[in-house]
Structure 1
Amino acid sequence: MFVKQRLSRLSWPLLALVVTVALALARTVRTPRFYFTDDTERGSFGQWWQLGEHLLQGRIPLLDPSAWQAGNYLAEGQWGLLNPVVWVIALATRGSEDPVLLVTVVKVVFLGVMAVGAYLLARSFGAHRPWAALAGVLLPQVGFTVYMDAASWSNGLFNTALLPWVWWGLRRAVEGRRSPVPYLIASYVLITFGYVFGVMVLVVILVESLVRHAVRRDGRRVVRTLLASVWGGALTILVYLPGILTAGVSERGAAPFDNYRFLNADLTDLAAAASPTVTATIRAWDGDVTLAPLVYIAWALPLLPLFLPLRRSTVRRVLPLLVVGGIALFAVLAPSHMGAIRWPLRFIPDLSLALIVLFAVAASQAYPRRITPRGAWWSAGAITLAAAVSWTDAPTAWQSIGAAAALQLVALVALLWIARRPWATARVGRAPWSTTRATALAVAGAVLVTTVATAAQVLTLPRSPLPDGDAPDVATMRSVLPEAEAGGDAVAVGNTGAYDDEPASWHERLRENLWYLSDTNVINLYTVLPYTAFIDDLCADESEHLRTCVDEAGLGALWSVDPDTGMRVSDLMSVSTVVAMKRTFPEAPDVPEGWTLAAEGDYTWVVRRDEPLPEAGGVVWEGDGTQVSEVTRDGASATFTVDAVGDDARVALSRLDYPGYSVDGGAQLADPIRGWLLTVDVSDVAPGETVTVRFAPPATPLLVASAALAALAGAAWLVVWGRQRRRVRR
């Protein structure tokens, strides 16, 4: 009997997992590259590749001068440098030859993780296993999760997949006095992904728990919540403080507080939350309507009144869901730009999690015994009202709106009919843990409807609204700018995205983080912290994923002479190769002295120095009368000996002047040349002495203290739990 009980318990989460994986893979039948678009294609894959390269060499990168504004990895945050799950993905990426297959496997695995997490969270709030399994099926089908996070924004998907596990682990430890280890592990992974939206929701969850238990004067649970908060807060400081302290020199430091109505919703948009193929009026890059159901949550939402009202005890139990859901709803409706926090539609998965789990709990307490015609009429009214409001918002989508409403009405009638059958409350099997026939049939039908809704999406909206550049296999990308031919660092100028519709062009150019696959260091990399002075100087276009020098003036900026140093900007950057796009430069570019037009391809011009310079990071200029000799350099430091000090005692290094640099040997940092080039003043250094320029994340002592505090909080919680466990055993 014990074995049968175990199998029965495992069958429901296994059902959620299998259905989720099947539906996720079904999207690739129509669109094989569904999970390899936009930021995944041009951001995540190359990022994982580069991190895997560093891990194979036994190091975690903090700074890469040759990557320029994309090379401050700890400040970037979303690299997941401290995340073991990202390490595994990075190492797997390094061993992959097929990026589409690798990414598809990663995304589908996380969708499966999300499904099981939703099941566990629903169970922790009191949902019965069948309805908890339905929650596990519904959550990975949320429109924003599917068409934005799973298709493109990898860290958004990882965030949504881990949040139910974190919440479940917290409830398990705080409410149920169980081991805090699941929470400690899950929250560490969530926070170190570097995706701030998940951390913001975790803060809400922790504050709600703390306030609720403080009001109830439950001291033990208050202490557990405080330990959980200290653990999470210290980790958050460790992950996010470098980016915050670096934001002052970046575009993020001047981010506006305004509403551009971009990737946020209004109340009429949310009426489409139950229509799987209605796009609503969400403004994004393609205009006022984005061709994806970004506000879709679950087709079953209008059926919630069927299971109401909730018992008073149930209301108390689901209070955290109501608080988190209410705040997430407010966030979704918030202004589109709130400083560095922008595009609040990214909170839709969090709102969805609260609503779907609430639905599972309500259905568990009411079905089939407490189903009444009055509740059915309320659900029918909700279906009709949602359809009517959706039609006023998007009248041309009347067919999709009507089809969704018809499907919901059929499901409502079916649920009511099943609940009224004489055999409805009979159990499936003889075991006391088995579910009722009505519940089993209702959940099976709901899974079938979910499958139909997914099929409708696959047929009518087969791909993400975000672009797909058709990046090729790894071998092809590795062949671009092989190090033996190029030498030194390189920069691509012109519109690198103009050839996305021409597969043959990938033999000559890459884009954003895919440049990491080249043996040559190329500065055209993606960053979430664009260095303001740098992109202004080099004509970079932040709206185009920071393609450096996207017009003809950009090439002129590279080869212009800096009035302060008398050197070309390309010399100050240690650039040895320029790849110019023919769409931007139809004629061969004029080359300055010391450069040669080395190759002409079908899509690009390749210009190289006659004598390549070393990679970025070292000394590139000394002031009048000042002479130094470089001794050593690496990613985070450079050492040189001062041979002579002249009237102009400045020394410039080919590095961005990031917060966190320091110098010793009597030297000091000077104002950066051109507003971004790291410059050192050696006027107080005697000839023959050595100067070391060293980078460390800003506020490093505080970061170390935060890591220690997190470790102490986690250890203290484990000790407290261990003592309580031994006391209970005795």
Structure 2
Amino acid sequence: MTASADTTEAIEATGDAAVGNPRPGRRWDVLLGILAAVTVVGLVALAQWRGTRFFYVGDMYEQFAPLWHVLGSQLRSGQWVAMDPAAWMGGNYAAEALDGIWNPVNLANFVLVSYFDNLSLAAFVVAAEMLAILSIGVYLLARTYGAHRGPSFLVAVAIPVSGLTLWYEAAGWPAGLAAFTWFVHFWWSARRFALGRAPMIVPFAFGFLAMTAGNPYAPLGLVVVLAALGIELILRRDGRRLVLLTVMGACVGAIAPMVFLPLLGASEVTTRQSLAAIANDTFLVPDLGDLAAGSSPTYLPSISNWKGPLDSVPSTYLAWFVLPLLPWLRWSGRRRIPGGVGLLVVGSFYLIATLAPSNLWLFRWPFRLVEYLYVVVAVVFAVLLSRGLAPMTRRRVGATVAIVAFGAYSAWAVRPDLWLEHLVGLLVVGAGVAAAVTVGRRAGVAALAVVAVVGTAAVSMVQFSAFPSVAQPIAVDDEPRPDPLPDGGSPVFSVADMRRGAAEYRGVVLQLADRLSVTTEDSREGRLLFGNLARVADPGAVTSYTGMGFDSFADELCMDYRGAVCSGAVERIFAPASAAVDAPLVDVMGVSTLVVQRTLAPVETAGPPPPGWRLAAADPARVVWVRDSPMAASAGPVTWASAGIDTETRSSTPTSETVVVTADRAGTVLFSRLAWPGYSATVDGRPVEVAEGPAGLLSVDVPAGGGQLDVVYSSPGLAPGRAVAVAAAVVAVLASAAISVLDRRRRRRSVVNAGPARAD
């Protein structure tokens, strides 16, 4: 090793010594890491208390929390499925990827959530858990770059309650929160591994959790971190660790096929392929001005989003103390930041990516990358703050006053109508900065960190009071709307209440409703539900949430990704399914219960039900028709066959059908399941053609004479993806063990070669 490399190694060792070597220091790191996690849980509990449904909005409300309850209930009954035809467009869980069905932490949380009746409370528990884990990761990451315990503790508390992480990811995008959390832990453990101070299995395990979170920004982050660490090792001329890092990274990358190949295999029938583009519609695209106001707690960024050109929450907020304390940091000095090149690489990438166009292939909305940039800023801040505060000068005081004033002005300029909130924020930040600087100069950085954490709690209360969760009533013409629509976060959370509205449902349930006139009471009583909430109310519901859709099915019913339909859907379902299939679509889908919203089709629902149906329930919101003789209990089996063909179902599972077919002539059999890519069929062992029938239903051609028809589904790419993932895990375990043995031998040889210690 060269002299330069020796010097670098010494510097890295100095930084690493702060991480917990010798062992007595490790106990403090464990205690402070746990204390940071507990502190974060306390802060987010304030958000839950102030907003009651703070963590139950957006996708959390209609996609994740109810789906977790469904999957957890299935796991408790001994079922685990990657494909559920009963969920129709939302049932291809393996292809959805974002559901994270391969992640063991997710699976445990699914089971946990299934015990809750209150889905809002369940969502809060899972969000608090992930934010606490994130806090520990930030603490460890800052420590491994040489930050002292006090500053590391401070940023470990601040990052989980920063704008995007708390107000978007934790509140409504839990897959993004999980991806970010495991990314931070992977970064910490991968750098420890690159320095030879952690076994390979540790970063591999966190890389596995990051990959299986299902969010594409996690794999992107892993690549960026590996590249940064690789550059560090190249500069250190440590070829051995570079090779080992490459092997570890390859093992982590080998998890990707299992997670994402099913998505690519299903893309030909979905709307996903239309998203792959390079364009900029300015949607969720932040700018430098939004980042420059990151220490103003009441600044609402001018980011185009679902509610208009301005955000309603402080989504680009970083931490109230970071920018105001910049003039007090010791920027110059003999000691450089350990691994500073890697931090520069990661930070530069995410700064550029955060300011990118709205669409770069499948990566949409660069706003989602703000938290990745902020964690780099937080680590650098913690390292610099560890050097202590610079002496007090008028210039530093003036710079801090200017920074605080600029943040408050920026917040006021965007939303001058919130002048009182901005004034309160200015006073709290000003007082907090003054107290932090005063205490820091007199009692040291550790005391400053304590003051700053207290200030973070105060600032958080200001934010929670000034910007209530979108689950709260929305103002219309300066008057609060007492009955917000579901799009505004309708507080439907009780599983028991939702299921009461489905008491009359039987078999496959098709709801025909839009979202425009649905009230909170309708949702609370389970009369009309969208997304995966419908699946919680009744497992036979066609309505579900999907991130990718199924083109032909969605087009036929004009159904959106949450199960809402247009008014023409009522007429379409009673029309022949196609020119070749004379049966109504409602029959070939195997629907036994039809729920029709009165405002969607008032004429059709005013009269008696069609022949073969009876009125099961009626209220001001809907009518419920049930077949006199319900069809199959769940989606999947045969629902229609060509003339001259008789069928008898012998067995039906989520991924297979066994049917005895008697055919006077060759013809077609339709199943009440969507024709996802991956289906195959045989008649008495001979392959037969599988195709997409009307409305995307699975269609199988059978020859004259018939026989035993076996239909099997295998998710495209899943089998090889699993094999590669298992192989990667085996390689990681064996390599980790081998490296540990070799490192011990090298250390023993080094001790022997060094000879007896010289007495001074």
TM-score by length of 2: 0.86
1:655 is aligned to 2:682: no
Question: What corresponds to 2:286 in structure 1?
Answer: 265
Which has the higher mean CA deviation after the structures are superposed, 156-165 or 127-136? 156-165
Of 59, 70, 75 in structure 2, the residue corresponding to residue 39 of structure 1 is 59
Cα–Cα, structure 1 residues 95 and 394, in superposed 2: closer, same or farther, change >3 Å? Answer: closer
Q: Secondary structure at the match of 2:306?
A: coil
Q: Which residue of 1 aligns with 2:649?
A: 630
| Worse overlay, 570-579 or 659-668 | 659-668
SS at match of 1:334: coil
Letter paired with 2:376 = A
Aligned to 1:188, the other structure's residue is in SS state helix
Q: Find the residue that maps to 1:82 and give its secondary structure.
A: coil
Secondary structure, aligned partner of 2:720:
helix
* Whole-Å separation in 2 of the counterparts to 1:7 and 1:185: 23
Give the match's secondary structure for 1:579. strand
Q: Report the secondary structure of 1:598's partner residue.
A: strand
- Name the CA distance, whole Å, in 2 between partners of 1:461 and 1:56: 39
Instruction: Indicate the larger mover: 580-589 or 178-187.
Output: 580-589
- Name the CA shift for 1:496/1:419 in 2 (closer, same or farther; >3 Å): closer
Secondary structure of the structure 1 residue equivalent to 2:227: helix
Alignment correspondent of 1:676: 696
Could you say which residue in structure 2 is the equivalent of 1:441? 447
Distance 1:298 1:497, change over 3 A: same
> 1:505 touches 1:603 (CA, 8 Å); kept in 2?
no
Aligned AA (2:314): P
The answer on whether the counterparts of 1:278 and 1:397 sit within 8 Å (CA) in structure 2 is no
Q: Post-superposition shift, 1:380?
A: 5.0
Aligned residue type for 1:661: Y
Q: Give 2:366's match in structure 1, choosing from 334, 337, 344.
A: 344
Residue 441 of structure 1: CA displacement? 2.3
Partner amino acid, structure 2, of 1:269: D
Alpha carbons of 1:541 and 1:364: their partners in 2 closer, same or farther (altered >3 Å)? same
Aligned to 1:611: 629
Q: Separation in 2 of the partners of 1:508 and 1:91?
A: 26
Q: In the aligned structure 2, how far is the partner of 1:546 from the partner of 1:313?
A: 59
Q: Does residue 512 of structure 1 match 2:528?
A: no
Tell me if the contact between 1:234 and 1:706 (Cα under 8 Å) persists in the aligned partners: yes
Alpha-carbon distance in structure 1 between the residues aligned to 2:523 and 2:283: 35
- State the Cα distance separating 1:585 from its structure 2 match: 3.6
Give the equivalent residue in structure 1 for 2:151: 131
Instruction: Give the one of 567, 579, 593 matched to 2:595.
Output: 579
Q: Tell me the equivalent position of 2:510.
A: 491
User: Partner letter of residue 321 of structure 2?
Assistant: A
Match of 2:4 in 1: none
Q: Secondary structure at the match of 2:293?
A: helix
Aligned pair count reads 704
Contact residue 146 and residue 337 of structure 2 kept, 8 A: no
1:561 equivalent in structure 2: 576
Cα gap change, 1:582/1:4 in structure 2, threshold over 3 Å: closer, same or farther? same
Aligned pair in 2 of structure 1 residues 500, 328: CA closer, same or farther (>3 Å)? farther
Q: Does 1:95 align with 2:101?
A: no
Q: CA deviation at 1:10?
A: 4.5
* SS of the residue 1:523 aligns to: coil
Residue 427 of structure 1 is matched in structure 2 by none
Contact 1:368–1:439 at 8 Å: present in 2 too? yes
Distance 1:403 1:472 in 2: 34
- Contact preservation (8 Å) 1:250, 1:532: yes
Deviation at 1:558, TM superposition (A): 1.4
Q: Does 1:238 align with 2:258?
A: yes
* SS, match of residue 512 in structure 1: coil
Tell me which of 281, 285, 290 is aligned to 2:311.
290
For the Cα contact (< 8 Å) 1:147–1:464, is it kept in 2? Answer: no
> Displacement, 1:162?
2.5
Contact kept in structure 1, 2:412 and 2:419, CA below 8 Å = yes
Q: Distance in 1 between matches of 2:28 and 2:695?
A: 66
Q: Distance in 2 between matches of 1:441 and 1:171?
A: 29
Tell me if the contact between 2:146 and 2:338 (Cα under 8 Å) persists in the aligned partners. no
The answer to whether the Cα contact below 8 Å between 1:645 and 1:687 also exists between their aligned partners in 2 is: yes
1:169 corresponds in structure 2 to 189
Deviates more, 1:257-266 or 1:452-461: 257-266
Q: Distance in 2 between matches of 1:195 and 1:312?
A: 41
Partner of 1:70: 90
Code of the residue aligned with 1:259 in structure 2: it is N
Structure 2: distance between partners of 1:6 and 1:565: 71
Q: In the TM superposition, what is the alpha-carbon distance from 1:321 to its structure 2 partner?
A: 2.3
- Does residue 320 (structure 1) correspond to residue 346 (structure 2)? The answer is no
* CA 1:322–1:502: 2 relative to 1, 3 Å: same
| TM-superposed deviation, 1:412 | 5.0
Structure 1 residues 662-688: Cα deviation after superposition (integer angstroms, max 9, x where no partner): 1233343344223612112224xx625
1:450 aligns with 2:471: no
Deviation at 1:522, TM superposition (A): 0.3
Point out the more displaced range, 58-67 or 215-224.
215-224
Structure-1 separation of matches of 2:286 and 2:546? 27
Give 2:228's aligned residue. Answer: 208
Aligned-residue CA RMSD (Å):
2.7
What SS does the corresponding residue of 2:659 show, helix, strand or coil?
A: strand
Shift of 1:138: 0.6
SS of 2:694 mapped into structure 1: coil
User: Greater shift after overlay, 454-463 or 469-478?
Assistant: 469-478
- Could you tell which deviates more after superposition, 106-115 or 636-645? 636-645
> Bigger shift: 233-242 or 706-715?
706-715
Equivalent position SS for 1:612: coil
Unaligned runs of 5+ in 2: 1-21, 472-486, 749-760
Q: Secondary structure at the match of 1:351?
A: helix
Q: 1:224-246 deviations in whole A, cap 9, x for unaligned?
A: 21122112211112111111221
Q: Say if 1:339 and 1:597 are closer, same or farther in 2 by CA, change over 3 A.
A: farther
Q: Unmatched 5+ residue regions in structure 1?
A: 425-436
* CA offsets 1:238-280 (integer angstroms, 9 cap, x no match): 1111112212211111114322221121222223221111112
Residue in 2 that maps onto 1:433: none
8 A contact 2:261–2:718 mirrored in 1: no
Structure 1 distance, partners of 2:198, 2:124, is 35
Q: Percent identity?
A: 29
Is this contact kept in 2: 1:79–1:194, CA < 8 A? yes
Distance 1:22 1:199 in 2: 31
Q: Distance in 1 between matches of 2:147 and 2:681?
A: 60
Check conservation: 1:308, 1:375, Cα contact below 8 A: no
Partner of 2:753: none
Partner of 1:16: 36
**What residue identity is the alignment partner of 2:288?**
L
* Bigger Cα displacement from structure 2, 313-322 vs 74-83: 313-322
> Residues of 2 paired with 1:417 and 1:55: CA distance?
55
- Give yes or no for contact 1:127–1:361 (8 Å, CA) kept in 2: yes
Residues 344-384 of structure 1: CA deviation (Å, up to 9, x unaligned): 2111221111111111111113x136777665555555545
Q: Tell me the SS of whatever aligns to 1:652.
A: strand
Q: What is the identity, as a one-letter code, of the residue corresponding to 2:594?
A: V
Matched residue, 1:713: 731
Contact kept? 1:38, 1:468, Cα under 8 Å: yes
* Cα drift, residue 8 of structure 1: 4.5
Local SS of the residue matching 2:336: helix
Please, which moves more after superposition, 493-502 or 120-129?
493-502
Deviation at 1:335, TM superposition (A): 1.9
| 1:545-556 equivalence runs, <5 A | 545-547=562-564, 549=565, 551-556=566-571
The answer to whether the 8 Å contact 2:440/2:447 transfers is no
Residue by residue, what CA displacement relative to the aligned partner does 1:688-711 show, whole Å, maximum 9, x if unpaired? 532311110102442133223322
Q: Which amino acid aligns with 1:558?
A: I
In structure 2, the residue corresponding to 1:654 is in which secondary structure? strand
8 Å Cα contact 1:667/1:680 also seen in 2:
no
| Aligned residues of 1:472 and 1:503 also touching (Cα < 8 A) | no
Q: Secondary structure at the match of 1:577?
A: strand
Alignment of 1:101-180 (within 5 A): 101-180=121-200
Mapped contact 1:667–1:682 kept (Cα < 8 A): no
Tell me what 1:531 maps to. Answer: 550
Does structure 2 retain, via aligned residues, the 8 Å contact 1:213–1:221? yes
